[in-house]
Structure 1
Amino acid sequence: MSEHAQWDLGRRGRDSAEVRAGYDEAKRAIAIGKAVRERRLALGLSQTELAKRAGMTQPALSRLEAGGTVPTIPVLERLAGAMDAELVVGITPHAAA
């Protein structure tokens, strides 16, 4: 066995609602982080500059941009304001199967 631990969740573990919810949350966090990073770069701002404008720390902004955290609506509102942007939140129905 290698130095790294090997995990076998089995079919049930991978398909559980809890695991799927975790993947969905991670995908949302990554998408939000990517959108913030792209807007920040389009404005020519450093992480430090944007963090200061939004009233947060640079490490917190870095984690958010990397998809390491799902930000709250108030944090997203502060970031949007700091980037001269509008926060738009929507609910879209799934496509018919």
Structure 2
Amino acid sequence: MAGHSSWETLKTARMRGGVVEHPEYVQAGLDLRLGDMIRSRRVELGLTQAEVARRAQISQPALSRIEGGGGVPTLAMLDRLARAMGTTFTITVGQDAAA
């Protein structure tokens, strides 16, 4: 039961704001945000995953993984996805000055 008390300690510290997020959780959050942005733009344009995947020359499941945050596209893949949707992506790397 030691794991349970450790979890309770972590949970309590998080609720107080005293825990720094693990780098892998931070990265997963960024991956999800990127996937959400790609999906939002695709839906906004009225395109299906199958259509975008075909145009970008990737499989539909691969696009689904990217949109779900489970796959991280390379810059070349992002370029292909943007071209497949007839759009552009602007990505900022690093932290905002206000952060």
Band of TM-score, shorter chain: 0.7 to 0.9
In structure 2, C-alpha distance between the alignment counterparts of 1:72 and 1:30, rounded to whole Å: 15
1:41 aligns with 2:39: no
Aligned ranges 1:1-97 → 2 under 5 Å = 8=6, 11=10, 20-91=22-93, 92-95=95-98
In structure 2, C-alpha distance between the alignment counterparts of 1:90 and 1:38, rounded to whole Å: 18
Aligned residues: 87
Gaps of 5+ in 1: none
Q: Which has the higher contact order (CA 8 A, sep 6+)?
A: 1
One-letter amino acid of the structure 2 residue matched with residue 87 of structure 1: F
Deviation at 1:65, TM superposition (A): 0.8
One-letter amino acid of the structure 2 residue matched with residue 95 of structure 1: A
One-letter amino acid of the structure 2 residue matched with residue 49 of structure 1: E
Contact map agreement 1:51 1:61 (CA 8 A) in 2: yes
Q: Which has the higher helix share?
A: 2
Contact map agreement 1:64 1:71 (CA 8 A) in 2: yes
Q: Which TM-score applies when normalising by structure 2?
A: 0.72
Contact map agreement 1:28 1:70 (CA 8 A) in 2: no
Q: Identity over the aligned pairs, expressed in percent?
A: 41
Deviation at 1:95, TM superposition (A): 2.1
